[in-house]
Structure 1
Amino acid sequence: MNAGTADGSNPSRQCVKTTCPYCGVGCGVAATVDEAGNATIAGDPDHPANFGRLCSKGAALAETLDLDGRLLRPWVDGRPASWETALDLVARRFAETIAEHGPDSVAFYVSGQCLTEDYYVANKLMKGFIGSANIDTNSRLCMASTVAGHRRAFGSDTVPGCYTDLEQADLVVLVGSNLAWCHPVLFQRLVAARAARPAMRIVAIDPRRTVTAEEADLHLAIRPNSDAALFNGLLAHLADTGAVDRAFLAAHTEGFDQALAATRGLAPAALADATGLDPAAIARFYALFRETRRVVTVFSQGVNQSTGGTDKVNAILNCHLATGRIGRPGTGPFSVTGQPNAMGGREVGGLANQLAAHMEIENPAHRDVVRRFWNAPRLAERPGLKAVELFQAIEAGRVKAVWIMCTNPADSLPEADRVVAALRACPFVVVSEAMADTDTTRLADVLLPAAAWGEKDGTVTNSERRISRQRAFRRAPGEARPDWWALTRVACRLGFADAFPYRNAAEIFREHAALSEFDNDGSRDFDIGPLVGLSDAAYDAMAPVQWPVRDLGDTGLPDRRLFGDGRFFTPSGKARLIPIAAPQPVPMPERMFVLNTGRVRDHWHTLTRTGLSPRLTAHLAEPFAEIHPDDAHRLGASEAGLLRIKNSRGAILVRALVTDRVQPGSVFVPMHWTDRFASAARVDAVVPADTDPISGQPGSKAAAVRVEAYRPAWYGFAVLAERPRAVDATYWALAKVHDGWKLELADAAPVSDWPAWVRTLMGIAVGERSVDLLAYRDAEAGIHRFAAFRNDRLIGALFVGPDPVAVSRGWAAERLGDGPAEPRQRFAVLAGRAGGDSPDPGAIVCSCFAVGANRIAAAVTGQGCASVDEIGAVTNAGTNCGSCRSEIQRILDHVRRHDATLEKAG
């Protein structure tokens, strides 16, 4: 196996095993590159996270390797520059700022998508040698409350369990986790385990009826922010029914009486009111937890992304500690991370209130360990600015230089418009990025071209503490370089060359491992000391390994749980149960909605990678808001109409998806769309910058917003061979297709000259003779259709009407790749639908195999399929990652109901 050279190249054409760059499951990937440089991506059957299975995003990774849009060289002040010029400027401006205003006037903002080696160097430079703890990460936005909860309960940021615990449990409780869409491979392992052991039960606790909830045996549609009340009630119930483990509590914990006392006073009626749940449903959940010995509670962003997130985490941990359900097979609390290396970032101290190797910046003994190991006389002695505080400090002018790496805060931070304004006013902004044009790169003084997935070399750690290699299988394009390389060269220019002598990622990893064992007599959880002995070749070939590592050959499949011996990392060695005062429900102001944000199945963060894949954009191609039918009716919002969602912080305009999957008074909007892909869909612009007082994590799940129907004069849909330079419409959303782009449109202002508008949209020069523009217009009905052909090939088509246009979008997009169009084919384009000889597959349901809703329905009606598995056998739909199986079931049920209605009517 050749993992590539230090500059990120990989001359080998053989299969390279690497790790997926998406969620925290940490799936192994096998990449094979042919002689033309084309990569084929498959799951690694030997990797213990996924055993060969990939989700739709992982399966489509090869489609995201295109160099279109890549940042290929440094830029300074909007002009191309050399690396030497750019790095000299970065070092000089940081040095000048520190000299004039002190080390706390500069900052790094990094990412859970950085490799551990990049993270380590950034943390060492900022905390150890610049002398400030002003380095934070976008993991603050997703997992900081878990870190704080773990440290309060365990004395360390330790995830105790393993993925196999989900398969061995008899009850799995999913709290604030749409595991089926956000961690699909892990969810399919869980579903397969239940199929093998039908007595297993799954409980989903989520305000929305997600795909995950539909697969659960019990769904608790909890009121937003009432998780702590529910688990406080569970702790009281366990105590009252004699279900606590008194021996475990006495020997291995402290604080139970105080934690239990904090749960008193919440009567059953009050608990039902606080959570919005039927008392019978609460009782059923409590009985399942009480009566089932092997319980795993999985929690994610729905718990963490809250102004009370840390308390929610500890309320969950309290219940596991009180019953001794921790550290044994099939038991334990389990935090699943959102990003591929959120765990690795935590290991190296990527958060502003941490030190490397899971040490605490507030602990003088820990600071002494790190200071001596790094020989760092300037080591920071107090926590730095957490993410929201950091950008507020930039806005206030206290932080005057910031280096942003591998993340897009102009879209992902709360009150995003303020973040944009802050960066625009900041005296010096450096951005390391793989893509040239993001909402954040537009604000940079210096742009540094970063190596992307498939080009960089290092390690990542997944949600079960398993360290895996991410290996390069293609040469970094242009002048792109790894982030650790750029950081090291700036460190040398700042005068710290002796501390940053790294020539490759292996050297950084060995130092990271050495720090983990330095003065560590077992008092710290994170220890990979034996890996110090890895040679470059051994590091290159390193198999996945779960920490703590006790032997150099300690790699491979064996699971390694923590706390099974009842020993924790607090001063007393006992776990702490934390008294939690569950907040009382806060009434929503009249006519305001609760805004919930999150992810969708086929997209990732701000679309810089998944937005390049036509396959992934086919499922959900534009920003939307799920809204309950009762609310839609009250607002006069139609299915597929538009909604304006706003508050004092900003406004967005998105498509209405009318569904009873959300509760009345709530809306759900995905986090992914940016100004590069939509006119006004940056949902974090309306999320307040309120944070958890302990973790500093912002709440992204319960913003108060107003919702109103937006009534355009016209709606439109277009397919275009080239990305439009500008779109003259209040609403637009752009998505990649195989040979171009598709575009949704709407505006309240009528268009007086449609042919001229079309020429501008399609980039057709006035008087251009090589273009034929066909048109159909019914001015009285407000219907306009245009198709433009250059040298007999379709370069664009536009369909306009007074309502959302009924056009076969997939079919229209496919026409962009057709050969020369005959007259009959041209008029078919204007019609916007296929003929009888070319059936419309319908909206894509299964992204892995591009199977549409109409094809699935046809398998039921025409081929007699009576189950999801039978549909899969005929169409392949749902047979890879399985995250579309619930949607397939809904189509199956709908077709059956329709057929039954017709039969009854007949």
Structure 2
Amino acid sequence: MLQKILKQKSGPLTKDLVQEPGQFGLGKVPSRLAPASTVTSICGYCATGCQLKLHLNEAGEAINLSPQANYPVNLGMACPKGWQALDPLAAPDRGTTPLLRDPATGERRPIDWATAVDLFTSKLQGIQDKHGRDSAAFLSTGQIPFEEMAFLGLLWKSGMGFLHGDANTRQCMATAVTAYKQSFGFDAPPYTYADFEESDVIVLSGSNLCIAHPILWQRIMRNRRMPEIIVIDPRSTETAQAATVHVPLKPKGDLALYYALAHCIIRDGRIDPEAITHTEGYDEFAAFVRDYTPESVAERTGLEPATVEKLARLVSEPGKRVSWWWTMGINQSYEGVRAAQAMINLALITGNIGKPGTGANSITGQCNAMGSRLFSNTTSLVGGHDFANPEHRQKVADGLGIPAERIPSEASLAYDEILHAAEQGKIKALWIVATNPFHSWIDSGRLAALRDKLEFLVVQDMYHSTESAAVADLYLPAAGWGEKSGCLINSERRIATIKPVRKAPGQTLTDFRIFRLLAEAWGCGEMFADWTDPESAFRILRDLTKDRPCDITAIKGYEQLDQAGGIQWPFPRSGDSQSPLSSPESSPIDKVANHSLFTRHSALGTPSERRLFADGHYYTPSGRARILYSAPDELPEAPDAKFPFMLLTGRGTSSQWHTQTRTSKSDILQKLYPAEAYIEIHPRDAKRLGVLNNQTVTIRSRRGEMKASAYLAPTVQPGQLFLPMHYPEVNKLTHPSFDPHSRQPNYKASAVTISPS
């Protein structure tokens, strides 16, 4: 079977391929597209989920693209990355064949797929036989279709019999996931993007929306209600400068600020009594925030009491629609879960949930982070289920046609715990898929030391040149966006398709096909016999969501998703007699209540907007939202005499993306951002230290040092510095502290010193 899969035809996207769907894991290319000059596909960068129109040549390969005019997300707009989305496919450092490292010389040599698959299997089976199922782990991504994510997670845990695996969504969305699960009973962002256009007050916390999600900023600009746009951020970012109100918060003072806002709102009776009946824990919360007066939080927040009082009035004015939005400035924090829940609490007690222009809304980072949250089989059992629940394990086993005992009941270690176990020698092997932790992980110098403790490191990626691929024992070349099919889920829960419009170079395979090869070689191929192509996998995964809050059983397939302009979950079969819609005996967590949805339909009759919690019913056992809180903690690493500056990190420009693995392949995008690392410093600090504009400086933390060009910028406050996260040296400095609830790293606040080089 292995040789049969390897010998499958792998030609360009010609009419022959259109007539033979499902080859080499590309999935079905609908025959209706054969004569067409364009196809649509969701952008593979951020989780905004813009749809692009790809213009094809006669061979069916994309030669150009433009944003899709009528798609309900981007409405004909695209950011610089989207316009250049095809460029990374033609990069000269694309992987074209598997590579094996010579342990004696460190040099890598090409090998064929049969050799690579045999090596992968024999090495990992040997490690498992000797050290058990806890001895290896995978680290995956939020940037491949969820059909591939699910295949990886199920193959690893149920097919190969290992336990540990986590996705790099742990670096961006774990805080929001945990906050929603604890507060709402399920990871359920409640909003639709139309809320940007229907709010009277928009609060952006820890979010430089203009740069990180420029299309969503354009949605705000379409708002005709003349909204107050409030930006809570230590820096005077591009978004803060465009807002009506900038709150220059002291770094990590957000939790104390939100508690002070709740104090003022409750003290002044500006709550919504009806909305509070749909919560639990309000009385205890009201007592808790009684001590959080604006005066008491002034030192921690750096804000005058009058500023806090004014802000409290703005976000609780009766009759006004208030929406709260956050991204990495909140998520990447040592107390991010409680900060996110503090915003959720403010929305709950003021009645700003489930209505147009409202919500406590996390904006996702990666294109398929939401797909990872539901289908990667890491922190949650595939389909939004719970590994610890025996009924859930049995349901998933039945849906997959495998014994229930093949599904683990224990939780995997989290990302940081996996790496710590590798440092201790407990995890002997790592399989890294479509991510680059040797650049992106916090305190990245630790990974270089950790590498020597691993017996076997496999990296599966588009490029053989990433920091992670460069140190791998075995490199597997994988196809990227534009070379495969599948589904992504964006921040507003919208499911939509991507399509293959270029042939991957050389012997490169889609991740889906690589997983098929490995399943056959391992001896568990029969378990995935029905996973013939991504759309077949989609139907299996769709059916597994039945009766869950993320139920999408009414979606027939990819064609319906394309015709509908994407579909937000939940989308259950309402006419199904076995549906939870007609089963009052179901527990609240297993109930998808139609009356909890606000739905607006497009002119074609398809649901274009679907907002959750319209009736105040949540997915908790009581059906009420939980108000959760705890006292703010001290900074894990505060500035001191030796390291007197607070280092902030974040997005640099709208043309940069994560570790620049893809954006650096575009000549046009490279012209739109500085090639070398730069650091923003306040002119007053620069003068005191004798630092000139554009001068090379050295930044040091307790973990490492780097050089950068100084950029004198009054947009940062005195005593603070800002580094864009995209440069490989930056995470040598960041502090390895984590939120105790989500295990998400605290990238945003570290103590450093700076001096002229």
CA apart distance, 1:129: 3.2
Partner of 2:755: 708
- C-alpha distance in 2 between matches for 1:400 and 1:364: 30
CA apart distance, 1:280: 2.4
Contact 2:263 2:292 (C-alpha < 8 Å) held by counterparts:
no
The correspondence of residues 319-334 of structure 1 with structure 2, limited to 5 A, is 319-334=346-361
Are residue 377 (structure 1) and residue 405 (structure 2) matched?
yes
- C-alpha distance in 2 between matches for 1:130 and 1:576: 38
Partner of 1:569: 619
Partner of 1:693: 740
Partner of 1:620: 673
Partner of 2:297: 271
Counterpart secondary structure, 2:554: helix
- C-alpha distance in 2 between matches for 1:562 and 1:254: 18
CA apart distance, 1:541: 6.4
Over aligned residues, Cα RMSD in angstroms? 2.1
Question: Aligned match of 1:260 in 283, 286, 290?
Answer: 286
Partner of 1:505: 534
- C-alpha distance in 2 between matches for 1:51 and 1:361: 39
Partner of 1:738: none
Q: Which amino acid aligns with 2:355?
A: R
Are residue 99 (structure 1) and residue 129 (structure 2) matched?
yes
Q: Which amino acid aligns with 2:414?
A: K
The correspondence of residues 107-146 of structure 1 with structure 2, limited to 5 A, is 107-146=137-176
Counterpart secondary structure, 1:148: helix
Partner of 1:148: 178
CA apart distance, 1:463: 0.2
Counterpart secondary structure, 1:606: coil
Counterpart secondary structure, 2:746: coil
TM-score, normalised with respect to structure 2? 0.88
Partner of 1:437: 465
Contact 1:24 1:340 (C-alpha < 8 Å) held by counterparts:
yes
Question: Aligned match of 1:341 in 368, 384, 394?
Answer: 368
Question: Aligned match of 2:683 in 629, 642, 651?
Answer: 629
Larger relative contact order, structure 1 or 2 (CA cutoff 8 Å, min sep 6): 2
Contact 2:693 2:710 (C-alpha < 8 Å) held by counterparts:
yes
Question: Aligned match of 1:76 in 90, 95, 100?
Answer: 100
Counterpart secondary structure, 1:560: strand
Which stretch shows the higher mean deviation, 145-154 or 536-545?
Answer: 536-545
Are residue 290 (structure 1) and residue 332 (structure 2) matched?
no
Counterpart secondary structure, 1:402: strand
Partner of 1:815: none
The correspondence of residues 131-280 of structure 1 with structure 2, limited to 5 A, is 131-193=161-223, 196-198=224-226, 200-250=227-277, 252-280=278-306
Q: Deviations over 1:212-247 (max 9, x none)?
A: 001111000111111111111111111111111222
Q: Which amino acid aligns with 1:558?
A: S
Contact 1:129 1:377 (C-alpha < 8 Å) held by counterparts:
no
CA 1:38–1:359 in 2, change beyond 3 Å: closer, same or farther?
Answer: closer
CA apart distance, 1:270: 1.9
The correspondence of residues 804-819 of structure 1 with structure 2, limited to 5 A, is none
CA 1:43–1:537 in 2, change beyond 3 Å: closer, same or farther?
Answer: closer
- C-alpha distance in 2 between matches for 1:526 and 1:73: 38
* Alignment length (residue pairs): 691
Contact 1:388 1:413 (C-alpha < 8 Å) held by counterparts:
no
The correspondence of residues 379-398 of structure 1 with structure 2, limited to 5 A, is 379-398=407-426
Q: Which amino acid aligns with 2:387?
A: I
Are residue 589 (structure 1) and residue 640 (structure 2) matched?
yes
Contact 1:232 1:582 (C-alpha < 8 Å) held by counterparts:
no
Q: Which amino acid aligns with 1:255?
A: G
Partner of 1:549: 571
CA 1:89–1:542 in 2, change beyond 3 Å: closer, same or farther?
Answer: farther
CA apart distance, 1:496: 1.5
CA apart distance, 1:319: 0.8
- C-alpha distance in 2 between matches for 1:476 and 1:516: 32
Question: Aligned match of 1:465 in 487, 490, 493?
Answer: 493
Are residue 86 (structure 1) and residue 116 (structure 2) matched?
yes
CA apart distance, 1:17: 0.2
Question: Aligned match of 2:68 in 44, 57, 65?
Answer: 44
CA 1:686–1:540 in 2, change beyond 3 Å: closer, same or farther?
Answer: same
Tell which structure's C-alpha radius of gyration is larger: 1
Contact 2:648 2:721 (C-alpha < 8 Å) held by counterparts:
yes
Partner of 1:315: 342
Partner of 1:666: 720
Are residue 24 (structure 1) and residue 47 (structure 2) matched?
yes
5+ residue gaps, structure 2, are 1-12, 102-107, 576-600
Q: Which amino acid aligns with 1:475?
A: K
Partner of 1:514: 543
CA 1:12–1:397 in 2, change beyond 3 Å: closer, same or farther?
Answer: farther
- C-alpha distance in 1 between matches for 2:275 and 2:48: 31
CA 1:650–1:177 in 2, change beyond 3 Å: closer, same or farther?
Answer: same
Q: Deviations over 1:745-780 (max 9, x none)?
A: xxxxxxxxxxxxxxxxxxxxxxxxxxxxxxxxxxxx
The correspondence of residues 299-314 of structure 1 with structure 2, limited to 5 A, is 299-314=326-341
Q: Deviations over 1:324-376 (max 9, x none)?
A: 211111111110001100001001144x4321122223334433433443324
Question: Aligned match of 1:605 in 644, 658, 662?
Answer: 658
Contact 2:160 2:524 (C-alpha < 8 Å) held by counterparts:
no
Counterpart secondary structure, 1:481: coil
Q: Deviations over 1:442-467 (max 9, x none)?
A: 11111111111111110100000000
- C-alpha distance in 2 between matches for 1:22 and 1:556: 26
CA 1:568–1:447 in 2, change beyond 3 Å: closer, same or farther?
Answer: same
Partner of 1:721: none
CA apart distance, 1:24: 0.9
- C-alpha distance in 2 between matches for 1:168 and 1:635: 47
Contact 1:226 1:583 (C-alpha < 8 Å) held by counterparts:
no
Question: Aligned match of 1:448 in 457, 464, 476?
Answer: 476
CA apart distance, 1:557: 5.0
Question: Aligned match of 2:431 in 399, 403, 416?
Answer: 403
Are residue 15 (structure 1) and residue 38 (structure 2) matched?
yes
Question: Aligned match of 1:527 in 551, 555, 560?
Answer: 551
CA 1:460–1:552 in 2, change beyond 3 Å: closer, same or farther?
Answer: farther
Q: Which amino acid aligns with 1:234?
A: L
Question: Aligned match of 2:442 in 414, 439, 443?
Answer: 414
5+ residue gaps, structure 1, are 675-681, 711-906
CA 1:597–1:104 in 2, change beyond 3 Å: closer, same or farther?
Answer: same
- C-alpha distance in 1 between matches for 2:36 and 2:500: 12
Counterpart secondary structure, 2:126: helix
Counterpart secondary structure, 1:187: helix
- C-alpha distance in 2 between matches for 1:543 and 1:305: 32
Percentage of matched positions with identical amino acids: 35
Question: Aligned match of 1:647 in 701, 711, 716?
Answer: 701
CA 1:616–1:556 in 2, change beyond 3 Å: closer, same or farther?
Answer: farther
Which stretch shows the higher mean deviation, 117-126 or 456-465?
Answer: 117-126
Q: Which amino acid aligns with 1:451?
A: A
- C-alpha distance in 2 between matches for 1:12 and 1:73: 32
Q: Which amino acid aligns with 2:86?
A: A
Contact 2:62 2:501 (C-alpha < 8 Å) held by counterparts:
no
